[in-house]
Amino acid sequence: MKDMMLLVEPLIPALRRYARSLMRADAAGADDLVQDCLERAITRWHQRRTDGDARTWLFSILHNLAVNRMRQRARRGRDVPIEDAAEAATARPPTQEAGLRHRELLQALDQLPEEQRSVLLLVSVEDLSYAEAAKVLDVPIGTVMSRLSRGRERLLRIMEDAEASGRPATLRPPSLRSVK
């Protein structure tokens, strides 16, 4: 233990300098890094090569800890005290309902006849104009408009029937927009 202290103690100022250069302006973070490095060195002293240089080993530990900490920070993002955080950053609406609504909509779309589903998807999802959808399907524009109208009505009915059959009231049919 005494030989460990004789080797490690004189290296602490150099470790602090290196940690501060790695952590830039975060002096407290640099001190924590040195403390973690020393803790790791003490607990793993028996794993050190006796023929190796203790200084190199300590700087390697410090460097690896710093890299891990920077990666962790990049993954987690910046730390903000809860009092300073914007409400929008801490409160988010639940996503489960949207997923259920999406699944129900896909099931309802599967129940539509192919010609209505195709027109509905081309116009409402792919944002094609009526003329472009007519060209894609090789039908007159009037047919596109008729199929779109019938498809929307049928989709709404399917969604309302699904809701009436016992699904939660929160799963309202989506609002379909009109694209010309």
For 88-98, the pLDDT digits (tens) are 767 777 778 88
pLDDT for the residue numbered 168: 46
141-164 and 96-111 helices, crossing angle to 10°: 120
| 145-156 per-position pLDDT tens digit | 999 999 999 999
pLDDT for the residue numbered 176: 60
Mean pLDDT of 100-107: 86
pTM exceeds 0.75, yes or no: no
Q: How far is CA 36 from CA 21, 118, 134, in A?
A: 16, 61, 68
pLDDT for the residue numbered 169: 40
- Cα(173)–Cα(153) distance, rounded to whole angstroms? 11
Q: Which residue has the tokens 């830039």?
A: 24
Q: Catalogue all structural domains in the chain, each as residue range(s) with its CATH number.
A: 1-76 (1.10.1740.10), 95-167 (1.10.10.10)
Mean pLDDT of 73-96: 77
Tokens of 1: 């233990």
Tokens of 170: 């929160």
Contact 167, 96 (CB under 8 A): no
Tokens of 24: 């830039």
- Cα(52)–Cα(145) distance, rounded to whole angstroms? 80
Number of C-beta neighbours around residue 61 at 10 A:
20
